[in-house]
Amino acid sequence: MASPNSKATLKEYVKRKLGAPVLEINVDDDQFDDRLDEGLQYFREYCYDGSIKCYLKHQLTTEQIASFKSNESHNAATAGGQVVAGQTYKEQQNYLTLPEHVLSVLNILPFNDKHNLNMFDLRYQLRLNDMHDLSSTNVLYYEMVQQNISMMDNILVGRTPIRYNMHSNRLYLDLDASSLTAGEYLIIECYRKIDPTDMTDVYNDMWLKKYCTALVKYQWGENLSKFSGIALPGGVTLDAATMKSEAQEEIIRLEEESRLNFEMPVMDLMG
């Protein structure tokens, strides 16, 4: 199939790309699957087409708010002599457990209600003073003004500090748990990995097909390198080193291309 739409069809595409069925691809099925999984993992974590921004809605429960107020203990077990041994530290368990497909968390939408602004509110005055200039200024200037107002909101009103690591799947909310109410919804702005079993067009991505082919080609060369120097019937000698070198160059080139052209910026807003 020229347009792969599953892991199996991508596997067949890579085999044909490397010369099958004219040539025998000396790569075990498990090795083949491992290299395809590596390619998919890299694509979903470092290419913008492998993830998508989304907003997760989560309703807090009484049990969850109670867990925010509890602590977990860590014992200081280190090598060497200590003046005071067996020290114990506590860490607040103020975290939500997110689904494994969440790649990164950008923000928690503010808890404060902006519908109750009055004429004495600083945010109201900042926007009011800028209204008269809308007819004589450009959109870029107004957008910059709105960003400055948003920054003032963060300083004066305050945003909830958050911490997240995708390997722990824990989203820490550094706030006073007593300010939360059971039944309240949290809106989490984040990026999630695209599921290729659902969005099957992922397997037909041009960069991914090239990358997986390079990974399998390197594995093929690695396997053949175990027989380097052995002459085949007819005097043919396997040149595994050249195959590995070519594959390594392709992998490096494709990874550089992905970082330069397809990787998401470190911050959502650059300026």
Q: Residue 157 and residue 192: Cα distance in Å, rounded?
A: 29
Assess contact for 194 and 202: CB atoms under 8 A: yes
- In order along its 271 residues, the chain shows pLDDT tens digits of 579 999 999 999 999 999 999 988 999 999 999 999 999 999 999 998 999 999 999 999 999 999 999 999 988 877 777 788 888 999 999 999 999 999 999 988 865 555 555 555 655 666 566 555 555 555 555 556 555 655 555 544 456 789 999 999 999 999 888 888 899 999 999 999 999 999 999 999 999 999 999 999 999 999 998 887 666 666 667 788 999 999 999 999 999 999 888 887 664 443 3
Amino acid of residue 165: N
Residue 55, CA distances (Å) to 42, 102, 187, 270 in order: 23, 11, 6, 21
- How many CA atoms, within 13 angstroms, populate the side-chain half-sphere of residue 91? 8
pLDDT at res. 245: 95
* H helix or E strand, kind and range, residue 65: helix 62-68
Assessment of whether the complete model's pTM goes beyond 0.85: no
Cα angle: 187, vertex 61, 101; to 5 degrees: 45
